[in-house]
Amino acid sequence: GAGVSQSPSNKVTEKGKDVELRCDPISGHTALYWYRQSLGQGLEFLIYFQGNSAPDKSGLPSDRFSAERTGGSVSTLTIQRTQQEDSAVYLCASSFRPGGGDTQYFGPGTRLTVL
Amino acid sequence: DQQVKQNSPSLSVQEGRISILNCDYTNSMFDYFLWYKKYPAEGPTFLISISSIKDKNEDGRFTVFLNKSAKHLSLHIVPSQPGDSAVYFCAARRGGGNKLTFGTGTQLKVEL
């Protein structure tokens, strides 16, 4: 079975441009998470989707960041007017259901470099 | 404010010996802890977890110990194998919630 996939694997952009990062979760997983890992840092929670509930956006660092999840499956993380400090690996994870000890399965990540 | 800390950025161990990776946390509301393993260019993969109602959980070569009073957990790998060389992340969750709070990781190198 396919795992979590993310695209692109690498993205280089110029400061001020908008970028979109895509995540395809494992089929049947209702929960989807975005994290990012900056250089020398741990994974930082960004946003969480669960079914049709309102997403938990508490980890988004600024209003330049937004995410959506269409049809309860694919998710897109959008960063507007990118800044150099946005450079990081952006990781998506999915789980069958939230909490309850369910394991989050991670994709390979998108490495974003903002020049 | 780093709520989950892995103070050793790297660890080198000989094949066959025990690897001990440490993790400290500050938030007493955390009640579920996980270890993830990450190879280069791959996403983290779940390794083992422990609930706060336990102090030990074992799965094959991997054992996680939890000391709640010290807010400390450790991952023991024995015997260590070259394929265990990876970055290990400690993560914590509170109250069945959805967010994982991760440490900064420890790079384990198992040498022949």
Q: Judge whether residue B18 has pLDDT over 70.
A: yes
pLDDT in tens, A47-98: 999 888 889 999 999 999 999 998 878 999 999 999 999 999 999 999 887 5
Tell me whether residues A42 and B32 touch, CB distance under 8 A. no
A38, closest residue in chain B (CA to CA): B104
Tell me whether residues A56 and B89 touch, CB distance under 8 A. no
* pLDDT (0 to 100) of residue B96: 67
Tell me whether residues A106 and B99 touch, CB distance under 8 A. no
Confidence of residue A101 (pLDDT cuts 50, 70, 90): low
Candidates B1, B53, B98: best to mutate against A (most CBs of A within 10 A) is B98
Tell me whether residues A45 and B99 touch, CB distance under 8 A. yes
* pLDDT (0 to 100) of residue B87: 96
Tell me whether residues B32 and A45 touch, CB distance under 8 A. no
Distance CA B107, CA B104 (A): 10
Mean residue pLDDT of chain B comes to 94
* pLDDT (0 to 100) of residue B98: 75
Contacts across the A-B interface (CB distance below 8 Å): 65
Mean residue pLDDT of chain A comes to 91
Q: Does A114 contact B at CB distance below 8 Å?
A: no
- Average pLDDT, integer, range A24-46: 91
Q: Pick from A43, A50, A103: which is nearest to B102 by CB?
A: A43
Query: How would DSSP label each residue in chain B?
Result: --SEE---SEEEEETTS-EEEEEEE--TTEEEEEEEEE-TTS--EEEEEEETT-SEEEETTEEEEEETTTTEEEEEESS--GGG-EEEEEEEEETT-S--EE---EEEEEE-
Residues A76-97: b if buried by 16+ CB within 10 A, e if exposed? ebebeebeeebbbbbbbbbbee
B4, closest residue in chain A (CA to CA): A42
Tell me whether residues B46 and A104 touch, CB distance under 8 A. yes
List CB contacts (< 8 A) between A33 and chain B. 98-100
